[in-house]
Amino acid sequence: MKFLTLSTIVLLLLNQSSAQERGVANGVHANPAAIVREIKGICYVRKNGAAQPRKLKTNQKIEAGEELQCDAKSKVVIRFQNSGSVKEVTTTSPNWFVVPNVPGGVVTKSAFKPASRSKGDFLPPLVQPIVASESSSAASKPNASAAIDEVAEYWTTRKKYFLIIAVSPSQNYKTDEFTKTDSNALSSMLKSFGYQELIVLKDQQPTQDNVVSALQKIRELDEDALVLVYYSGHAVSDGRDLWLQLSGQQAVGDHRGLSVTDLIGSARGDSFKGELAIVLDTCYSGQGLRSSRLSLQDIENTTIFASSSGYQRSYTKRLPSGIEISAFTYHLIRGLTDDFSRVDSDNDGIIEYADLQRYISNKLIEDYAAESLPGQMKPQMLSHAQRGWIAYDAKVVKNVNTEARRSLTLETNSTLQDPEKFAETLQDPLPDNASPYLKAIEALHNQDWTKPLRGRHASGFLNLN
């Protein structure tokens, strides 16, 4: 298999970014995702984190992947081209609102029998980078899909964040370079699905004070935000809770570091009601799902996804390039890139944590059977989240009739407050494949109510005497 060199990837990305920025600067948008309908105050747009954002103007076309930001007490209303629905953006500095983005792969595709170790055992550090293969992942292959995609609009407009805690190395552990690899690879993958980095703590940074302070920033986010908290490192179970070991500890053991219960409490406090996903790649991580200190109220709208059971160790594996990465994290990333279509077995473009659990479980069994892991790992998952989605890719959608999609559509339609105002934002004319709901709204909006109604029920409405 052919692989791109790291320098080639960097050059390609730089060239692509420059070309896109030139196009935007010249006002060229081949396929605009949205159009600015209204601006109150001053708002800005930028592409690929450009240092000099530009002021938005009414009727300006917005490209997929561009970012919007407004001054305090300002707002911009955009209309999405495909569905005709609108979004009011009030995001202020330092945050940016991202209009869609394109997923992509970050981990190599290969067949191999790598070396492995239990997380925490000694292996010399490696510094080779992970590179992407020339073959595109399933998540990045284009596919003819419906012009109306309420799920895509929901996913791309929902605020999504990630917080990464990668303990490696510290005075308590030997060289744990694999957690750096976990952190870097996962961060790149999540950004490709529209997640924004809240904070990443690695090397000596994940002290207890730093971790708790980072988690408490989640409390400041909007109540409809989705936050993924990822931990890679070492943990100790006391039979009642899982204790995540952190940098700067004087010793390793239970009641040291941060428990999963306290992690959730630090993140939520009494203010954050949004969706919280805790992903744990550590030995005995399944204990985090069975903490006797967690109540149903504590885990409301929460998913906990663990790399192994409460009595199993978690292991690393070596890639052919020599890179060492946690086995669970490797398959998680691959499931969202190269094997996206395999994980998304119903072809609706949505990947839920439950889908990933089945996929990763099977891959780890295959690794153990091939003797590339010294022990078994059985990922565990507990979810009380409203949706439990981790990723969505509109380009691979082949089936729009799944329960997950139907649930979102029903919820969206039932919470619409002002159909008349919504009708004014619809694309004119609607595309042929628009949903019956949108067609009904359009028909009601275009009805001339000064003329007599026709049909068997008309007299019942008009002749009341």
Least confident of 25-34, 35-44, 397-406: 25-34
Partner residues linked to 167 by β-bridges:
203
Average pLDDT over the chain, rounded to whole?
79
Overall average pLDDT of the 238-254 stretch = 92
Reading the block at residue 209, the tokens are 């004070």
Quickly list DSSP for 333-387.
Answer: HHHTTTTHHHH-TT-SSEEEHHHHHHHHHHHHHHHHHTTSSSS----EEEE--SS
Q: 65-78 burial string, b = 16+ CB within 10 Å, else e? A: bbbbbbeeebebbb
Query: What pLDDT does residue 308 have?
Result: 97
CA dist 351 and 404 (Å) reads: 10
Query: In the Cβ-directed half-sphere of 28, how many Cα atoms lie within 13 Å?
Result: 6
Query: What pLDDT does residue 128 have?
Result: 37
Overall average pLDDT of the 364-382 stretch = 95
Query: What pLDDT does residue 12 have?
Result: 39
**More confident call, 411 vs 407:** 407
Given a contact cutoff of 8 angstroms between Cβ atoms, the answer to whether 400 and 436 are in contact is no
End-to-end Cα spacing for the chain? 81
Cis peptide before 142 (omega within 30 of 0): no
Q: Are strands 61-62 and 34-40 parallel, antiparallel or unpaired?
A: antiparallel
Query: What pLDDT does residue 419 have?
Result: 59
CA dist 270 and 117 (Å) reads: 40
Query: What pLDDT does residue 297 have?
Result: 87
Q: What is the DSSP letter of 256?
A: S
What's the whole-model pTM score? 0.64
Query: What pLDDT does residue 3 have?
Result: 36
Query: What pLDDT does residue 18 have?
Result: 42
Query: What pLDDT does residue 125 have?
Result: 36
Q: Is the pLDDT confidence value at 135 over 70?
A: no
Reading the block at residue 74, the tokens are 């300002």
Q: Is the pLDDT confidence value at 129 over 80?
A: no
Which residues, 6+ apart, have CB-to-CB distance to 36 below 8 Å? Answer: 56, 57, 58, 59, 60, 61, 62, 76, 77, 78
Query: In the Cβ-directed half-sphere of 391, how many Cα atoms lie within 13 Å?
Result: 35
Query: What pLDDT does residue 282 have?
Result: 96
CA dist 209 and 345 (Å) reads: 42
Which is nearest to 99 in space by CA: 38, 35, 31, 33? 33
Q: Scan for tokens 């961060």, then name that residue.
A: 187
Mean pLDDT is highest, among 132-141, 201-210, 417-426, 430-439, for 201-210
CA dist 378 and 283 (Å) reads: 11
CA dist 145 and 398 (Å) reads: 7
**More confident call, 407 vs 289:** 289
pLDDT tens digits for 255-312?
Answer: 999 999 999 999 999 999 999 999 999 999 999 999 888 888 889 999 999 999 999 9
Query: What pLDDT does residue 16 have?
Result: 43
Query: What pLDDT does residue 410 have?
Result: 77
Least confident of 73-77, 114-118, 457-461: 457-461
CA dist 187 and 196 (Å) reads: 9
Q: Scan for tokens 């010399």, then name that residue.
A: 124
| Res. 411 pLDDT band, cuts 50 70 90 | confident
Query: In the Cβ-directed half-sphere of 140, how many Cα atoms lie within 13 Å?
Result: 16
Least confident of 36-40, 110-114, 220-224: 110-114
CA trace torsion 403, 409, 415, 417 (10° rounding): -170
| Res. 93 pLDDT band, cuts 50 70 90 | confident
Query: What pLDDT does residue 15 have?
Result: 45
Overall average pLDDT of the 238-245 stretch = 94
| Res. 219 pLDDT band, cuts 50 70 90 | very high
Partner residues linked to 380 by β-bridges:
306
Quickly list DSSP for 448-460.
Answer: -TTSPP-STTHHH
Overall average pLDDT of the 153-172 stretch = 84
Given a contact cutoff of 8 angstroms between Cβ atoms, the answer to whether 264 and 229 are in contact is no
Query: What pLDDT does residue 415 have?
Result: 57
Domains plus CATH for the chain?
6-98 (no CATH), 116-407 (3.40.50.1460), 416-462 (no CATH)
Which is nearest to 189 in space by CA: 103, 305, 96? 103
Reading the block at residue 173, the tokens are 């552990």
Overall average pLDDT of the 387-411 stretch = 90
pLDDT tens digits for 330-366?
Answer: 999 999 999 999 999 999 999 999 999 999 999 999 9
Rg, C-alpha atoms of the chain: 24
